[in-house]
Structure 1
């Protein structure tokens, strides 16, 4: 059974800030968002977590292994170096979707994302160290089969982008609605999903759904671990097995197996 700890990171009062005292240049906003995301990737990654940009003003992290003090240090670091602060809601559940719902409710209960008085909220309960296991997190790493030969070297870059985005959208919705999983585009042709304890046939069904809906062929490596990093590395090893064996789904318990 999985127990995924999810942290919702939300920039405080970001909408009003972008137009106060007058609208800020879009290039400056994009720069700030990308730097903040990169910074959070580094800080959360240092503790073996993963963070995904989603809408940039809202970012979702898999934070198994990070305690409340770790979250507080990240908030303090952001506040010291950026013109904006961030609030964080934490939730844990066998279902990543439910964990995110709980994390979101923490921030929504504290006040609106555009409430200037709601700043640096930190709420929700972290998973106690004594309740952690080596199989808490299941990560699935998807990519497009032969993306270079099928798209990159054959059609223009924007048509390739459309195909990848369509595949991602179909997969994201299917895994969310059918299996309570959270899927994130991470660049190139790669999608990483935080999943509950899904079986191999469930992944095969997801791949078949995407192929039938948008004609994009996927393969996936699946890994388990005590943290996003451990599970993600195991998933990367499993994905390499897919490429080597010509299979669609491979599973690895740990990156060392």
Structure 2
């Protein structure tokens, strides 16, 4: 049985801040957002979690293994170094989207994202289990993206094809299974999933190819943290490449290198 702990990271009062006392330069905002994401990725990643940028003013983190103290330290670290603060909601469930719903409610009940009086909310539940298979991470990759797109099309048209594949997969995995899928650059998509069968992953791949003509393969890993499960998924994806298969599973090894 999977138990996914998700943290919704939301910048407090960010919309009004970007135009107060007057609209701020767009590249200054983009720089702040990218640096904030990088710092959060480093903080959570050093504790074996994953962070996904979604809309940048909102981010989603897989935080199995991080407790309340870790979340408080995250808020303190950002408060001390940035002109903005973070509210954090935490949820746990077998189905990732349900965990995110719980995390979202914790923040929404405390006030609007544009409420100037809401600061550094921290609410929700933290998973305390210790089973080795608590997380399922699926790492999807576009088949021969370089040959089909990068080396043949201009970058914007390549981007359109990749994004169409991502949008189709993201929608299917959420609606069919309650899984959450995130674009992580290049032609890679990472999904946080409940326990799914090989046929269910294969069905997702077939759906994307049928809907938008993008061919995918996927490696699936399990483990007690996002890093451990994700590393196993990377190895499974390499098995797909070597074997010419579409779906491969790999359980996490007893220990995972930090390299």
TM-score (norm 2): 0.97
* Residue matched to 2:49: 49
* Residue matched to 2:241: 243
Q: Secondary structure at the match of 1:219?
A: strand
* Residue matched to 1:175: 173
Unaligned runs of 5+ in 1: none
Instruction: Spell out the pairing of 1:198-217 with structure 2 (5 A cutoff).
Output: 198-217=196-215
CA 1:58–1:188 in structure 2 vs 1: closer, same or farther (change >3 Å)? same
Per the TM alignment, residue 255 of structure 1 is displaced from its structure 2 partner at its CA by 4.6
Distance in 2 separating the partners of 1:72 and 1:126: 13
Per the TM alignment, residue 155 of structure 1 is displaced from its structure 2 partner at its CA by 1.2
Q: Does 1:230 align with 2:194?
A: no
In angstroms, what is the RMSD of aligned CA positions? 0.9
Q: Please give the per-residue CA displacement for 1:170-226, whole angstroms capped at 9, x wherever unaligned.
A: 000000000000000000000000000011111000000000000000000000000
* Residue matched to 2:29: 29
Return structure 1 stretches of 4+ with deviation > 4 angstroms: none
Number of residue pairs matched by the alignment: 255
Q: Does 1:152 align with 2:150?
A: yes
Q: Please give the per-residue CA displacement for 1:136-193, whole angstroms capped at 9, x wherever unaligned.
A: 1100000100111111111111110000000000000000000000000000000000
Distance in 2 separating the partners of 1:44 and 1:157: 31
Distance in 2 separating the partners of 1:255 and 1:38: 28
CA 1:89–1:63 in structure 2 vs 1: closer, same or farther (change >3 Å)? same
Q: Does 1:221 align with 2:219?
A: yes
Distance in 1 separating the partners of 2:155 and 2:32: 26
TM-score (norm 1): 0.98
Contact 1:237 1:255 in 2 (8 A): no
Q: Secondary structure at the match of 1:88?
A: strand
* Residue matched to 1:9: 9
Q: Does 1:106 align with 2:114?
A: no
Distance in 2 separating the partners of 1:148 and 1:111: 45
CA 1:87–1:51 in structure 2 vs 1: closer, same or farther (change >3 Å)? same
Per the TM alignment, residue 132 of structure 1 is displaced from its structure 2 partner at its CA by 2.6
Q: Secondary structure at the match of 2:9?
A: strand
Distance in 1 separating the partners of 2:33 and 2:154: 28
* Residue matched to 1:39: 39
Per the TM alignment, residue 256 of structure 1 is displaced from its structure 2 partner at its CA by 6.1
Unaligned runs of 5+ in 2: none
